């Protein structure tokens, strides 16, 4: 019976994370032992504060060695291990923490973050949900859950999470940026523009925000504004091939095919295996009656990635216009097998 | 009229829609010696060249290229002779390159507008051939206005028809078919007329008619200087047509003119044109028991004393459509007729198909689609754009043929476009025309209709999530709270006491003092100084505390107070001299930490920086300089760079936390402004600092 009481006491003590008080008398030895663990833990926090994670890990190892039921010890050590890029060990600590205290919201968050890093978005979403349910309501938790929802194409859900993150941290540029992106996906162009602009106001060198603001303008067929925004992005980062490709599109749709060709070519000079630019360059070249170069670029895109449906569609269209219907049909069939609806429509024309 | 002459006229009609006689026009032009003469030298030779050209023209259409060659030699001698220019122009109008007549017509007309009374009409026609419809209309109109009333009546129909053709042409060219034309190449086409392709067996076998020289009649006829028609056959291997072969069968390719005009879908019935009987009759031959029967006349009901030149038979063989110039029933020129088999399996009498399809001009080259629901034919009437155009008519639900539609440009041109043959493969047809890439005369082309014009699809690679551009992680987003170590209680009361004064004036300052439990990041006691600047704070536990002092118009102050575990007295003094907010005032920002050797702030800096944010928000009228300083260890240049980057990192933090950039300036001084000797480690530590200085106050 005495043994059972001792076990219960130990469990309560451990689960409490030293935050509960007990009416049981504490012996001097227990008192000292308890204080020693606390001190080690506090020393670990100081080391974390001083960005000395190795030292922090040493303290936390000692904490856990002294008290294996100390839930937040595992939590903090997991965070330190994660900082040291030891994800698997960190995950084990977060799981241990939750095993000891399944209400520890922060452990769910960290666990979710590891799943997120490993592209396990369903698992990440479950853990982020659990984190927030268990009162871990830091802006970053909402932000990461929003990102996962974006990846899963739940744009309205993502939008709400980014809004929560912003409510909790009014200068959270990333949250503004990504909320803008969720609005862009939902075709709320005015809202997207406002949020991208806010992100830029908070981070004036936010290259991606300039790029995506350009995308908003591209969607609105405001090619002049789109070109200006993409240009700003390329000025801030001259190696940002994505912005060159996007500006090329803005030029293309505004009818300036030669400038488009220049930009697609520039994007490819930065990243020669950039499929979108290869395809787009081919498209612009075909419009400029340079079918030979266009075909070479479509071929190269397909050679680099045989799953690139758009290049098949365009190559098929090129072949069709030259009278090679069999070739066109074969390419469209390839694209249709990859799920390209446009290719299916084209094939139907010849049924 | 001889048999030969009849045949030639019958066959020639098929390829001549424009009623103007270039032949007679040509023969009427004489070139006076005086008109040709430029110098004596070369004159005789030029005159001989003109005579040669005239001779070739008289030999007929087949000799036109040679006529042009001869005239061109004379043209080299004198290119400004109105008559010679006209002769060359008329030759070109009879050639495969009709548009080339334009320059010669213009030269002739400009030199002497009386050389040919129809000069403007011909120029209009040349422009029309060249798709310059507006200019063509202009010339036709000009021509017509210059005519006398009596002549206007003579030319009215021709001129107005030509103008209407141009208007149709303008519309057609604006909305071209999306189609590609594939010249079937040397395997099928020759430098002579090749036409009337009949493709069977799922686009794998073709009969056609050609006027190329054959072994049976190696010389051209005497009137047109063209070779007889013969039947050729070609087979497709994989996707390519193999070399066409002369159909070696004396029943079909005789020593005379032989043309094939239709083949049944199963390939077992051939229909032939015989220009030697009754002005042109249709013959038929069947393939039975492994051989072809002798071609026989299709029947008196079909073959009249007039000319029957083309035929199309439905797949079931029960309906025949054919072309005849039967003057009794015609709406004008050649018309389409039809006949059906009755219940007894005999042909009813043929009847004119009616005015919906037949115009007052020639119809020719009738051809049914494989399902028999669409009829294609060529016509010089309806809304054509010049010459024979191909038209299409659909059969309605009750079997009537609907109003024909022009199949459009570029299948149709102002020249003759004939023998349009749809195939069993949708969007593929064959037809005969003189296009720019002709091998000579009519060539056979494969027409492939394309679907809707395909716009190029641009591909976009989204990067809409900032995290994926530059990942952020806040592993220590929520700072863990230090645990309260149960220290012995203070048995006797212990106080922190001190004076708050102005650093320059040494006068008392009324300030708010906060005592902060560092481990918990909590304010545990607050007090206000007395008028004398004194404060007293009761210390609950013997450990280290943070202290923050704030006063209106003064810069904030933060520090750590080390309370001894076993104090010698009951109090400890901590006096603070505050710096007034005024231009030039500066303080060292304590508790700002960077990663070693880098300009990256550590999380531990946030407490001090957040206080600075609050201070700057409360005093948004001041502009400050954030300066970085180092000790004198290492390269001066690197120290200056590092101190500058660290100062900028602080400025970036403040900016991100909503402090306007205009309020902030960063500067790195390196080791230039020490506040302590660099000779000791403590001195060097003090020198490694970030300072805050007020630059202006508005």
Q: How many angstroms separate the CA atoms of B390 and B405, rounded?
A: 9
Residues of A in contact with B456 (CB under 8 A): 282-284, 286-287, 314, 317
Q: How far is B184 from chain A (nearest CA, A)?
A: 13
* 8 Å CB contact between B17 and B361: yes
Other CB atoms within a 10 A radius of the CB of residue B133 amount to 24
Residue B623 pLDDT > 50: yes
CATH assignment of the domain containing B682: 3.30.1330.60
Q: Mean of the per-residue pLDDT values for chain A?
A: 89
Q: What is the mean pLDDT of residues B496-525?
A: 86
B237 lies in some domain: yes
Which one of B450, B484, B602 has the shortest CB-CB distance to A51?
B602
Range(s) of the domain holding residue B507? 464-579
ipTM over cut 0.90:
no
Which chain B residue's Cα is nearest to A210?
B464
Q: Which of B546, B579, B612 is the last residue of a domain?
A: B579
Do B431 and B336 share a structural domain? yes
For A73-129, what is each residue's pLDDT tens digit? Answer: 999 999 999 999 999 999 999 999 999 999 999 999 999 999 999 999 999 999 999
pLDDT recorded at residue B17: 60
Cα of B406 to nearest chain A Cα, Å: 22
Give the chain B residue nearest A31 (alpha carbons).
Answer: B486
- Assess whether B201 and B273 both reside in one domain: yes
- Give the pLDDT score at B533: 85
- Do B153 and B190 sit in the same domain of this protein? no
Least confident range of A170-179, A338-347, B22-31, B168-177: B22-31
A23 has a pLDDT exceeding 60: no
- Looking at the fold, whether B140 and B231 belong to one and the same domain comes out as no
- Max CA pair span of chain B: 150
Which residue in A has a C-alpha nearest to residue B591's C-alpha? Answer: A50
A252:B458 CB<8 A:
yes
From A241, which residue of chain B is nearest by alpha-carbon distance? B461
Q: Which positions in chain B touch A113 (Cβ < 8 Å)?
A: 473, 475
> Using CA atoms, how far apart are residues B322 and B652, in angstroms rounded to an integer?
90
The model's confidence at residue B13, banded by pLDDT at 50, 70 and 90, is very low
A vs B, Cβ pairs < 8 A, gives: 152
How does pLDDT run across B186-204, given as a tens digit for each residue?
A: 999 999 999 999 999 888 9
What gap in Å lies between CA B234 and CA B286, rounded to an integer? 19
Whether B455 is covered by a domain: the verdict is no
Helix (H, G, I), strand (E, B) or coil at A207: helix
Chain A positions in Cβ-Cβ contact with residue B476 (cut-off 8 Å): 48, 79, 83
The C-alpha of B452 sits at a distance from chain A's nearest C-alpha, in angstroms, of 8
Determine, for residues B475 and A79 on separate chains, whether the beta-carbon distance falls below 8 Å.
yes
pLDDT score of A2 more than 50: no
Instruction: Write down the pLDDT at residue B23.
Output: 56
Distances in Å between the Cα of B72 and the Cα atoms of B50, B69, B188 are 9, 5, 31
**Chain B residue whose CA is closest to A276:** B459
**Residue B474: closest C-alpha in chain A:** A140
Residues B573 and B597 reside in one and the same domain:
no
- Please name the member of B182, B454, B476 whose beta carbon is closest to the beta carbon of A320: B454
- Determine, yes or no, domain membership for B417: yes
Q: How many domains does chain B have?
A: 4
Predicted confidence at residue B228, as pLDDT, reads: 85
For residues A316, A320, A326 and A329, what is the CA-based torsion angle, rounded to 10 degrees? Answer: 40
| Same domain assignment for residues B411 and B495 | no
Give per-residue pLDDT as tens, B600-609: 888 778 878 8
**Which of B159, B174, B189 represents a domain boundary (last residue)?**
B174
Distance of CA A210 to the CA centre of its chain: 18
Whether B586 and B575 map to the same domain: the answer is no
pLDDT of residue B15: 55
We report the CATH number of the domain holding residue B36 as: 1.25.40.10
Mean pLDDT (whole number) for B444-471: 88
pLDDT digit string, tens, across residues A276-311: 999 999 999 999 999 999 999 999 999 999 999 999
How far apart are the CA of A309 and the nearest CA of chain B, in angstroms? 10
Q: Give yes or no: residues B420 and B409 share one domain.
A: yes
Could you tell me the CA-to-CA distances from B386 to A71, B158, B377, B412 in Å, in that order?
94, 11, 15, 9
In chain A, the residue whose alpha carbon lies closest to the alpha carbon of B446 is A323
Other Cβ atoms closer than 10 A to B170: 15
Distant-in-sequence, close-in-space partners of B613: CB < 8 Å, separation ≥ 6 = B654, B657, B658, B659
How do residues A331-343 score in pLDDT, each as one tens digit? 999 999 999 999 9
Shared domain for B611 and B526, answered yes or no, is no
Average pLDDT of every residue of chain B: 87
Residue among B450, B454, B604 with most chain A CBs within 10 A, to mutate: B454
In the predicted model, what is the mean pLDDT of residues B529-553?
A: 87
Asked whether residue B632 is domain-assigned, the answer is: yes
Cis amide linkage into residue A206, ω under 30° from 0: no
The confidence score (pLDDT) of residue B281 equals: 82
Residues of A in Cβ contact (< 8 Å) with B486: 31, 34-35
Decide which of B174, B206, B240 is a domain's last residue.
B174
Nearest residue of B to residue A178 by CA position? B465
Interface touch B593/A140, C-beta < 8 Å:
no
Position B35 in a domain: yes
Task: Name the band, by pLDDT with cuts 50, 70 and 90, for residue B24.
Answer: low
Q: What is the reported pLDDT for B655?
A: 85
Question: What does the pLDDT read at residue B612?
Answer: 86
Interchain pair B456, A173: CB under 8 A: no
Pairwise CB contact (< 8 Å): A171 & B658: yes
Distance CA B646, CA B345 (A): 105
Domain membership flag for residue B618: yes
Q: Which two tokens stand for residue B555?
A: 């810069």
Using an 8 Å CB-CB cutoff, list chain A residues near B457. 279, 283, 310, 313-314, 342
Tell me if B30 is assigned to some domain. Answer: yes
In this prediction, residue B303 carries a pLDDT of 76
Q: Is the dihedral of CA B429, B433, B439, B440 positive or negative?
A: positive
For A49, the closest of B452, B475, B604 (CB atoms) is: B604
Q: Is pLDDT at A12 greater than 50 in this prediction?
A: no
B457/A310 Cβ within 8 A: yes
A85: closest chain B residue by CA: B475
pLDDT of residue A252: 97
As a whole-number percent, the residues of chain B with pLDDT over 70 amount to 94
Same domain flag for B157 and B217:
no
Q: Are residues B140 and B219 in the same domain?
A: no
Task: Please judge whether A72 and B480 are an interchain contact, meaning their C-beta atoms are less than 8 angstroms apart.
Answer: yes
Residue B473 sits in a domain whose CATH number is 2.60.40.10
Q: Are residues B558 and B638 in the same domain?
A: no
List chain B residues with CB under 8 Å of A236.
none
Contact A211 B180 (CB under 8 A): no
Kindly report the three-state secondary structure assignment for every residue of A37-91.
Answer: HHHHHHHHHHHHHCCCHHHHHHHHHHHHHHCCCCHHHHHHHHHHHHHCCCHHHHH
CA distance to partner chain B, nearest, from residue A140 (Å) = 7
Domain holding B293: CATH number?
2.120.10.30
pLDDT score at A280 = 97
CB within 8 Å: A211 and B463: yes
Distance (Å) from the C-alpha of residue A5 to the closest C-alpha of chain B?
25
Instruction: Look at residue B457 and tell me if it is in a domain.
Output: no
Q: Which two tokens stand for residue B482?
A: 């230090």
The beta-carbon neighbor of B463 closest among A72, A206, A242 is: A242
**Which residues, 6+ apart, have CB-to-CB distance to B651 below 8 Å?**
B626, B661, B664, B665, B666
Instruction: Say if residue A24's pLDDT is above 70.
Output: no
User: Which residues on B lie below 8 Å from A150 (Cβ)?
Assistant: 464-465
In chain A, the residue whose alpha carbon lies closest to the alpha carbon of B452 is: A349
B358 C-beta neighbours (distance < 10 Å), count:
26
pLDDT tens-digit map of B80-116? 999 999 999 999 998 989 999 999 999 999 999 999 8
Residue in chain A nearest B520 by alpha carbon:
A42
Query: What is the nearest CA distance from A313 to chain B, expressed in angstroms?
Result: 8
pLDDT band at A49 (very low <50, low <70, confident <90, very high): confident
Q: A190 to chain B nearest CA, in Å? A: 16
- CB-closest option in B182, B239, B456 to A286: B456
Using an 8 Å CB-CB cutoff, list chain A residues near B662: none
Q: Do B464 and A178 touch (CB under 8 A)?
A: yes
Domains of chain A: 1-101 (1.25.40.10), 102-204 (1.25.40.10), 272-351 (1.25.40.10)
Reduced to 3 states (helix: H, G, I; strand: E, B; else coil), residue A215 is: helix
Mean pLDDT of B612-636: 88
Encode pLDDT of B329-357 as tens digits: 888 888 999 999 999 888 899 999 999 99
Q: Per the CB < 8 Å rule, is B457 touching A314?
A: yes
Is the CB of B450 less than 8 angstroms away from the CB of A76? no
> Confidence class of residue B10 from pLDDT cuts 50, 70 and 90?
very low
Q: What is the pLDDT of residue B320?
A: 94
At residue A19, does pLDDT exceed 70? no
pLDDT reported for residue A11: 33
Judging by DSSP bridges, how do beta strands B240-241 and B269-274 pair with one another? unpaired
pLDDT of B312 higher than 90: yes
Whether B656 and A287 lie within 8 Å, measured CB to CB: no
């Amino acid at each position: 019976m005495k043994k059972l009481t001792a076990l219960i006491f130990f469990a309560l003590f451990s689960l409490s994370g030293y935050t509960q008080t007990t009416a049981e008398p504490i012996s001097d030895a227990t008192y000292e032992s308890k204080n020693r663990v606390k001190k080690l833990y506090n020393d670990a926090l100081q080391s974390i504060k001083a960005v000395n994670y190795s030292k922090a890990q040493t303290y936390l190892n000692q904490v856990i060695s002294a008290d294996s039921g100390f839930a937040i010890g595992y939590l903090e050590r997991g965070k330190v291990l994660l900082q040291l890029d030891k994800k698997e060990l960190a995950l084990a600590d977060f799981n241990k923490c939750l095993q000891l205290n399944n209400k520890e919201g922060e452990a769910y968050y960290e666990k979710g973050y590891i799943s997120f890093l490993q592209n396990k978005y369903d698992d990440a979403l479950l853990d982020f949900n659990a984190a927030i349910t268990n009162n871990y309501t830091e802006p970053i938790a909402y932000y990461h859950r929003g990102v996962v929802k974006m990846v899963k194409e739940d744009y309205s859900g993502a939008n709400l999470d980014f809004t929560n993150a912003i409510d909790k941290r009014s200068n959270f540029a990333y949250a503004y940026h990504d909320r803008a992106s969720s609005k862009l996906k939902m075709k709320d162009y005015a809202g997207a523009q406002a949020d991208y602009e806010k992100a830029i106001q908070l981070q004036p060198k936010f290259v991606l925000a300039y790029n995506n603001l350009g995308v908003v303008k591209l969607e609105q067929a405001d090619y002049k504004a789109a070109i200006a925004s993409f240009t700003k992005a390329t000025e801030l980062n001259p190696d940002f091939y994505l912005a060159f490709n996007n500006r090329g599109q803005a030029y293309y749709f505004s009818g300036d095919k030669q400038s488009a060709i220049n930009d697609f070519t520039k994007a490819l000079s930065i990243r020669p295996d950039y499929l979108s630019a290869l395809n787009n360059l081919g498209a612009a070249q075909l419009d400029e009656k340079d079918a030979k170069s266009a075909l070479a670029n479509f071929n190269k895109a397909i050679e680099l990635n045989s799953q690139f449906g758009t290049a098949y569609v365009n190559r098929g269209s090129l072949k069709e216009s030259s009278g090679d219907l069999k070739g066109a049909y074969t390419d469209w069939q390839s694209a249709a097998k990859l799920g390209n609806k446009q290719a299916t429509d084209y094939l139907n024309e010849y049924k | 009229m001889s048999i030969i002459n009849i045949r030639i006229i019958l066959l020639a009609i098929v390829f001549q829609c424009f009623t103007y006689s270039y032949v007679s026009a040509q023969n009427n032009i004489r070139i006076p010696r005086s008109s040709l003469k430029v110098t004596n030298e070369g004159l005789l030779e030029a005159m001989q060249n003109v005579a040669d050209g005239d001779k070739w023209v008289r030999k007929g259409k087949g000799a036109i290229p040679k006529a042009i060659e001869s005239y061109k030699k004379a043209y080299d001698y004198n290119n400004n002779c109105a008559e010679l220019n006209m002769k060359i122009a008329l030759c070109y109008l009879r050639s495969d390159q009709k548009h080339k007549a334009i320059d010669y017509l213009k030269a002739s007309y400009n030199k002497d507008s009386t050389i040919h009374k129809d000069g403007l009409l011909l120029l209009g026609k040349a422009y029309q051939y060249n798709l310059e419809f507006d200019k063509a209309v202009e010339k036709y109109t000009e021509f017509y206005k210059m005519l006398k009333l009596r002549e206007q009546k003579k030319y009215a129909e021709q001129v107005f028809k030509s103008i209407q053709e141009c208007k149709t042409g303008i519309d057609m060219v604006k909305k071209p078919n999306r189609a590609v034309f594939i010249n079937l190449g040397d395997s099928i086409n020759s430098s002579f007329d090749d036409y009337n392709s009949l493709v069977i067996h799922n686009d794998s076998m073709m009969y056609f008619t050609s006027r190329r020289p054959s072994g049976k009649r190696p010389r051209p006829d005497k009137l047109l200087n063209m070779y007889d028609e013969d039947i050729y056959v070609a087979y497709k291997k994989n996707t390519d047509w193999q070399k066409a072969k002369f159909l070696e069968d004396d029943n079909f390719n005789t020593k005379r003119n032989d043309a094939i005009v239709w083949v049944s879908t199963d390939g077992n019935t051939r229909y032939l044109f015989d220009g030697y009987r009754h002005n042109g009759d249709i013959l038929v031959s069947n393939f039975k028991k492994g051989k072809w029967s002798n071609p026989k006349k299709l029947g008196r009901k079909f073959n009249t004393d007039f000319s029957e030149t083309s035929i199309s038979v439905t797949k079931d063989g029960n309906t025949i459509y054919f072309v005849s110039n039967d003057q009794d029933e015609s709406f004008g020129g050649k018309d389409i007729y039809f006949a059906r088999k009755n219940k007894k399996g005999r042909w009813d009498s043929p009847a004119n198909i009616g005015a919906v399809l037949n115009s007052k001009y020639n119809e020719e080259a009738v051809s049914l689609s494989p399902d028999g629901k669409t009829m294609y034919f060529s016509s010089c009437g309806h809304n054509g754009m010049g010459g024979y155009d191909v038209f299409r008519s659909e059969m309605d639900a009750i079997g009537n043929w609907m109003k024909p539609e022009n199949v459009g440009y570029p299948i149709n041109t102002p020249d003759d476009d004939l023998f349009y043959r749809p195939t069993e493969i949708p969007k593929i047809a064959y037809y005969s025309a003189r296009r720019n890439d002709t091998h000579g005369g009519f060539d056979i082309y494969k027409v492939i209709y394309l679907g809707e014009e395909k716009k190029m699809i641009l591909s976009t690679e989204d990067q809409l999530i900032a995290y994926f551009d530059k990942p952020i992680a806040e592993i220590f987003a929520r700072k863990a709270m230090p645990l309260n170590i149960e220290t012995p209680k203070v048995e006797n009361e212990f106080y922190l006491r001190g004076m708050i004064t102005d650093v320059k004036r040494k006068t008392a300052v009324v300030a708010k003092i906060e005592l902060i439990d560092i481990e918990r990041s909590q304010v545990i006691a607050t007090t206000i100084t007395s008028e004398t600047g004194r404060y007293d704070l009761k210390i609950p536990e013997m450990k280290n505390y943070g202290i923050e002092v704030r006063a209106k118009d003064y810069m904030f102050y933060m520090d750590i107070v080390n309370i001894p575990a076993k104090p010698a007295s009951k109090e400890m003094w901590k006096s603070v001299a505050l710096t007034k907010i005024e231009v030039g005032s500066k303080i060292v920002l304590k508790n700002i930490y960077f990663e070693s050797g880098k300009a990256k702030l550590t999380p531990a800096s946030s407490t001090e920086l957040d206080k600075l944010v609050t201070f700057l928000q409360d005093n948004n009228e001041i502009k400050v300089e954030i300066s970085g300083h180092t000790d004198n260890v290492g390269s001066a240049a690197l120290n200056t760079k590092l101190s500058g980057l660290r100062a900028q990192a602080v400025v970036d933090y403040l900016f991100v936390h909503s402090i306007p950039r205009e309020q902030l300036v960063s500067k790195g001084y390196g080791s230039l402004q020490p506040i302590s000797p660099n000779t000791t480690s403590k001195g060097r530590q003090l020198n490694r600092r970030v300072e805050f200085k007020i630059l202006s106050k508005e």
